[in-house]
Structure 1
Amino acid sequence: MLTEQNLGVSRFVGQPLTATNILSALVYGLFETGLGEELFFRGLIGSWLGRRTRLWIANAIQAAIFTLPHLLLLTIEPRLWPIAFSLPFVSGLMMGWIRLKSESIVPGWIMHGLVNTFSIITVMRI
């Protein structure tokens, strides 16, 4: 069962807001989560769907698939359902659109990594 202790960001909770911890959060946000997710959801799934259907359909499907693993957050706190559903779906649509228009995962990867990094920094203590 998913718990707060085994969430990827749990190692950052309550850590001091230092340059070293911010750099660690940036590496985590960009490389440990953002890059792999962009390669898989937008690079593999989005590209495959984009070659087989209309771009808006491909984008909506990849965003919905991207949302599914994020719904695991609901096993920790069911009241987070609006956030656990809407944020990944909307950001998946945005990053998918950027991917399809730019023909590159790089812009979406940078955006994804920075959002992840910002989220991590919010759980650190000042």
Structure 2
Amino acid sequence: MEQKMTASSFTYALILALIFIPFFVDTYAADTLRKFVDHDLSHGLLMGLILTCLIIFFLIFGVIKKQSLQWASLGLKKMHTSQWLFVFKWTLINIFLGILYVVLLELTGIGSSNTKTESLQNEGIMMFVLAFLSAAVLSPIYEELFYRGFIYTWLRQRLTLYPSLIISAAIFTLVHIPTYNTLPINFISGIIFAWVYERTGSIISSMIVHASFNGLAVILTFLLG
């Protein structure tokens, strides 16, 4: 029988994601870093690196080592060859829904731009590469391990499929505040990422879907800006 992750670790994860990061890291730490790095995109990339280290540190010492688990417990295992078509299909679906959402935002006059996209549009190729690595490599790795590998798995060990999908996606959406114009697509993507992970059993699958979506978004923002 699969070892259940503890309730205390889930509580700490929620405190980390919903309280410590938004009210300390994204405010105090971000303001402190701003004194040394005033360039918007560079500041954002460094903050992303800090979040990556913080989340991975929690997963290693608050989950893996503390509960004597393996990384496979968070879904870090090989995908079967037969699953690639399924992953490719949901990658395309996620991208299509993302494009459709952006079109709807533009048609309704809300707009899809935010401070991150506006900053990227004014940068050169080197900053584009760094932004791409951050969005399409770092973010999918730590976010999928945390929100699907840990949060979704913890919920799934206790709840049925649909509540687990919805609750994990809701948590994933909340952490994207205050970028309010992306929240609906964050929720939809959160469900898709969790569903892909559910079906394949490998967190690598949701990382691929996530990375493809983010990577394409960065490329289009840079080229069309």
Under a length normalisation based on structure 1, what TM-score does the superposition of the two structures give? Answer: 0.76
Deviation at 1:118, TM superposition (A): 1.4
Are residues 1:12 and 2:110 paired?
Answer: no
Deviation at 1:123, TM superposition (A): 2.6
1:21 & 1:114 partners in 2: Cα distance?
Answer: 19
State which of 20, 41, 55 in structure 1 corresponds to 2:147.
Answer: 41
Deviation at 1:13, TM superposition (A): 3.1
State which of 118, 137, 144 in structure 2 corresponds to 1:31.
Answer: 137
5+ long unaligned stretches in structure 2: 1-26, 31-39, 46-115
Letter in 2 for 1:27: L
Under a length normalisation based on structure 2, what TM-score does the superposition of the two structures give? Answer: 0.45
> Match for residue 62 of structure 1?
168
* Bigger radius of gyration among the two: 2
Q: Against the structure 1 CA distance between its residues 37 and 122, is the aligned structure 2 distance closer, same or farther, given a 3 Å change threshold?
A: same
> Match for residue 204 of structure 2?
106
* Contact 2:132/2:219, CA 8 A, preserved across alignment: no
User: Which stretch of the first structure deviates more once superposed, 91-100 or 111-120?
Assistant: 111-120
Aligned residues: 116
Deviation at 1:22, TM superposition (A): 5.9
Deviation at 1:70, TM superposition (A): 1.3
User: C-alpha deviations, 1:23-62, integer Å up to 9, x for none?
Assistant: 5444222322111100000000000100101011111100
> Match for residue 124 of structure 1?
222
User: Which stretch of the first structure deviates more once superposed, 49-58 or 27-36?
Assistant: 27-36
State which of 194, 198, 202 in structure 2 corresponds to 1:96.
Answer: 194
Computed over aligned residues only, the root mean square deviation of the Cα atoms, in angstroms, reads 2.7
* Contact 1:62/1:92, CA 8 A, preserved across alignment: yes
Any runs of at least 4 consecutive aligned residues in structure 1 with deviations exceeding 4 A, and if so which? 6-11, 20-23
> Match for residue 71 of structure 1?
177
Deviation at 1:117, TM superposition (A): 1.3
1:30 & 1:124 partners in 2: Cα distance?
Answer: 14
Between the aligned residues of both structures, percent identity stands at: 26
1:21 & 1:110 partners in 2: Cα distance?
Answer: 23
Structure with larger RCO (C-alpha < 8 A, sep 6+): 1
Secondary structure of 1:123's partner? helix
